Amino acid sequence: MIKKLVLAAMLFSGLLIVLYTFEGVRAGLFEPVAAAAQQQQNAGDIPADVVEKIKLLESTNATERAEAACALGEMKQRAVPAIPALIKLLADDTSTRKVYCGERNWRGGSGEFEKSSPGEQAAEALVLIGEPSVEPLVSVIKSDDWRVRANATSALGIIKDARATEAVLVSVKDQDWRVREKAAWGLGLKRGELINGGIEISGVAGDVRASSINGRVQARGLTGEARLSTINGRLEATFDRLDVSKAISLNSVNGSVALTIPSDSNAELKANTVHGGISNDFGLPVRRGKYVGRDLSG
């Protein structure tokens, strides 16, 4: 059984969230482009050290491939000619030690080497190269290979570019949970911000931050920390289960907010509105403000 809290402007509570998907993405934006041809320069124009590292991307040794990708990333836009080769490497999920450029022997707190792959290192290199990597990454966001999609999504989640944000919104609806997880992480960095258009979140693991200025925000099946907001639009959030170690914050300036949670949830609810009413199925009293507004706590 589920219970619902409905209010007209703002909600804050102390619960959890994890999974989701988005809509409202412009159709046709992510048609594959011939980015490789656009980025590739004449062989004679490519610096010798870049050529050397590009060759090492095809080494039979996975660690050498990962280290070469890292080195190219450190070269930043000097390594633009390497973009097609790095895109190709995104599919390489061979387990290797994670390469922290210049810190090859870095260990985690457990004393174990952190695991990575040449594909993940290629994604990091493309991030460091920056804006020239965006279109090539977007062009493979719908690859048949989930490893390519996941690593491309991971890179686009970090790069600050409107095209990258739109691509991550596409990945959030991917059929593979590993790609959706990367998308959730990336949107957390970007805060999932949209100016116009609705956002629908459903079935993705990870903490979620999403906001829209003019549009509805709808979230279903979440289980991680969530911060959702809209200026002009309705906000709806439905949870199949809650984790009290996480928090949920829902905020709408000019629109209604509806929260639906299991009836056996162990959580503290706080809600307030300046204009409009509050109703709930929990039997909690709604107090009228001395001058304006209403609030609920329990």
Confidence of residue 88 (pLDDT cuts 50, 70, 90): very high
Asked if residue 94 has pLDDT above 50, the reply is yes
Distance (Å, whole) CA 186 – CA 194: 14
| pLDDT score for 108 | 37
Q: What are phi and psi of 220, to 5 degrees?
A: -135, 145
What is the value of pTM for the model shown? 0.53
Distances (CA, A) of 201 to 5, 18, 77, 219: 19, 10, 35, 4
Q: Is 81 helix (H, G, I), strand (E, B) or coil?
A: helix
Q: In 3D, which of 151, 160, 137, 9 has the Cα closest to residue 84?
A: 137
Structure confidence by residue, pLDDT tens digits, 124-177: 999 999 999 999 999 999 999 999 999 999 999 888 888 888 888 888 888 888
Residue 72 CB partners (closer than 8 Å, separation 6+): 50, 53, 54, 57, 79, 82, 86, 125, 129
Tally of CB atoms within 10 A around 224: 19
pLDDT of residue 12: 33
Provide the pLDDT confidence category of residue 121 given band limits of 50, 70 and 90: very high
| C-alpha radius of gyration, the chain, whole number | 23
What is the DSSP secondary structure assignment for residue 80, as one 8-state letter?
G
Which whole number is the average pLDDT over 26-37? 29
Q: For the residues 99-111, what does the mean pLDDT come to?
A: 44
pLDDT, greater one: 140 or 196: 140
